[in-house]
Each structure stands twice: as structure tokens, then as C-alpha cells.
Amino acid sequence: MIKDLQNILSRSAKSAKKSAIRELLKLTQRPEIISFAGGLPAPESFPLEILKKLSVEVLEKEGTAACQYSMTEGDNGLRKALIEKYRKDEGLELAMENIIITTSSQQALDFLGRVLVDPGDAVVCGLPTYLGGLQAFAAYGAEMHGIKLDDKGMRADLLKAKLEELKKAGKKPKFIYTVPDFQNPAGITMPESRRKEILALAHEYDVLVVEDSPYRELRFEGKNPPMLYKLDGKEQVVVLGTFSKIFVPGFRIGWIIGNKDLLDKFVTVKQAADLCTSSFVQKIGALYLNQGHFDANLQRVIAMYREKRDAMLAALKEHMPKGVSWTCPEGGLFLFVTLPDGMDAEKLFPKAIEKNVAYVLGSVFHCDGSGRDTMRLNFSFAPKEKNIEGIRRLAEVIKEAMKG
């Protein structure tokens, strides 16, 4: 290896940081640890028998085409199936030119940075917000501006103040990044009224909105508000979607929905990144949707995750001491815990590992380094009984810390 590696690294490589969540997960591989740290779907949610059948069917029907390169824009069969899904589920009228397939939603986040962000550009996000987005945008030198959340999501009054502040400073944000449904990490869903407020500000200040929607389908109760994309009507919203949380993460199928001229730029960078997403898994995904397996399995997964969420919420209520609060998500995979004033989740973490329970530090989701008194808990992966036991252990850690 060369003697001075640092001299050949790019500026982005030098400044890049490893995923805090991925690093924490390395500490939680011992079987005795109950981990709430990952964003993992439950293994029992994967439709293995159906996948076996569809894999054979794809090979029999498609033959060598399933093993060949596909178009950079994505397999036409999958794109058509997704267009029909959005028409049926969301009332969206999309054309083929409005959707491209990516290798996971994370690739789409990376492409956002690559296509739209130059070093020093402003990007507005929630405080807290999805760590994968923060990492992707920071890699291209984005200057992140966090907007605090309330129980309805990103606060419109603070967003307006920030947009006005940036305007006076001669800066126009490249986009507003939001996860409006069961937000990662907070678990909050943005109601229609707040969505309209955010869009009105985006229109007023002429700023693109990125609607990251990885698991909108995983709703346990109530009704989904309209998508920002549907409410917008001006092609000023880009949607990121994925099968990772609602089908199988190993397929790494994601997609981008938006204005065709903008998507052309994403196609160009994808050609340089990987040429195309796997033809084989795309064709399986198309059959999975077209044959009705998606909707059938989704109902099974929703029932499973609802039960796990309810078990965790009940355990929090039973075991957590006074001064600890948490969100009650209507769906998704996560909830967010706020500790009593002055308590640091990072300092608690080694004690939690000693008691064989793990979580994600809430501070990693805050672009300004705040949120040290918060933690994200995943309820989808562990069995219901372990969710209950894990919360009991975590409560013990917090109670001991409160005693001093």
C-alpha cells in the first residue's frame, strides 16, 4: 500500500463518516443482546415460498433476459406495476418518464446529493431526520439546516423563518428533505394541513421538496394523508420509494418519482454508478405486484408489526420512570424516546449493553448535534416477548442513572 494514503483521498472521502447505526450494530451481534438499534424488517415477514415460486417463473418465462442488463431507467414491467400501484393506492397519474428504478432508496439519496448539491449548498431537513439522508447529502458538502418537529412533523413557522433567513443571506436551499409518514426516527406522521403549509412555503420560496416514503404502506390505524406529491400538482416534489421495508431488503429495489427533466439527470448519474439495477430482482418484483402477493403479504406484516408496537408501548408505560416520554407511531418501524432533562443517551449506552439491550443514539439524527437526551427504538425486528423484556432492561438502566 502507498505510504501516504491521505494524499490521494478526495475531500468527500476525508470528511465522510461511517454510519453510526452500522457501527453500533457491530456491538449488538451477541445473541444475548436484545437490539432495538437496527431498522430491520422481521425475517418472518419475508415471503420465502412465494419468492421461490416467482424466481422459477421468471427464469422460465424470461430466460436469458432476466440475467441480462436492463435499461438504466429500470425494467419496464416493474415500472408499469409501480405506476399502477400508485394509481390504485394514491390516486397518482404517472407516466413511464416520471419513474426510474434505483438500487435501493439509499442510492436515490446519494443521487440527490450528486445531482443537486455543491459544497456549501443549503439543504433543509427535519430535526431530527433520517441519518442515511444526512450522510448522503453531507458527502457532497451540503450545509444542513434543521427544522424542529412537533407532534405534526416539521414546524411550518420555523421553516418559514429559516427560508427567509437564507433568502436574506443570498442563499436558496437546494431542497427540503422530509419523511412525512411515520418519520424516521421520530415515528411522527405529518397531517394534511401541515403538508399543505410546507408545500405553500416551498412554492413561495421556489424550493424543491423531497418526499422520502420508504414504508408509507405500513399503517396500523387511521388513514394515510394524501402524499405531498399529490397535493403539490406542480411537479415540485420528488418521491423516493423502496421495497426494503415492505417486501425484502436483500433485493435492494428502490425508485424515484418526479419531473422527467430532473429524472434525466438521475439517469445520467446512474449510468456512471452501476449502469442498471438487477434485472432478475426487478422482474420478480413486477410479478410480486402483478399477481397480488404484495397486498396479501402486506396485511400479514401490518398485523405482525402492530402487535409488536403495541407490546413495546405497553412495556414503556409499565416500566419507564416518570420524566421519560415517547412517541406513539401510527405505523412504520420506529418510535422515539426522550429522556429526563440532563440525561445523555450516549453515556447510558455502555450500561445498556451491560444489561444486554441496545438502541440508537438520538443525536446522530440531529444535523446540529443536539438531541443527546433522545434515542430511537425499532419495534419491528425483535419478537414481541423480546420487545417487552428489552424495554424492562432499558428502564432499569434509566432508573439507575436517575438515582445518580
* Closest to 236 measured CA to CA, from 195, 273, 269: 195
For 238, the grid coordinates are 420528488
pLDDT at 105 over 80: yes
Residue pair 257/86 in contact (Cβ under 8 Å)? The answer is: yes
Question: Which residues, other chains included, contact 200 with Cβ-Cβ below 8 Å and sequence gap of 6+?
Answer: none
| Residue 110 to residue 84: CA distance in whole angstroms | 26
Q: Is 64 exposed, middle or buried (0-12, 13-18, 19+ CB in 10 A)?
A: exposed
DSSP notation for 68-134: S---TT--HHHHHHHHHHHHHHH-----GGGEEEEESHHHHHHHHHHHH--TT-EEEEEES--HHHH
- Predicted local distance difference test score (pLDDT) of residue 19: 65
Q: Is 292 helix (H, G, I), strand (E, B) or coil?
A: coil
- Residue 5 has what DSSP assignment? G
| Residue 375 to residue 123: CA distance in whole angstroms | 24
pLDDT in tens, 362-374: 999 999 999 999 9
Q: Which residue has the higher pLDDT, 244 or 9?
A: 244
The band of 386, judged by pLDDT with boundaries at 50, 70 and 90, is very high
Task: State how beta strands 357-358 and 34-35 pair.
Answer: parallel
pLDDT at 28 over 70: no
DSSP notation for 19-35: -HHHHHHHTT-STT-EE
Residue pair 117/125 in contact (Cβ under 8 Å)? The answer is: no
Residue pair 241/101 in contact (Cβ under 8 Å)? The answer is: no
Neighbouring-strand partners of residue 331: 219
- Predicted local distance difference test score (pLDDT) of residue 24: 61
For 222, the grid coordinates are 387511521
Domains of the chain: 5-47+295-403 (3.90.1150.10), 65-293 (3.40.640.10)
For 348, the grid coordinates are 447510558
Taking each helix axis as running N to C, give the angle between helix 293-319 and helix 48-62, from 0 to 180 degrees, rounded to the nearest 10: 150
pLDDT at 351 over 70: yes
**pTM for the predicted model, two decimal places:** 0.95
pLDDT at 139 over 80: yes
CA distances 113 to 134, 163, 203, 261, Å, are 10, 20, 21, 17
pLDDT at 21 over 70: no
The band of 38, judged by pLDDT with boundaries at 50, 70 and 90, is confident
pLDDT in tens, 196-235: 999 999 999 999 999 999 999 999 999 999 999 999 989 9
Q: Which residue has the higher pLDDT, 26 or 292?
A: 292
- Predicted local distance difference test score (pLDDT) of residue 25: 61
Q: Mean pLDDT over residues 281-288, rounded?
A: 98
- Predicted local distance difference test score (pLDDT) of residue 140: 96
- Mean of the per-residue pLDDT values for the chain? 95
The band of 404, judged by pLDDT with boundaries at 50, 70 and 90, is confident
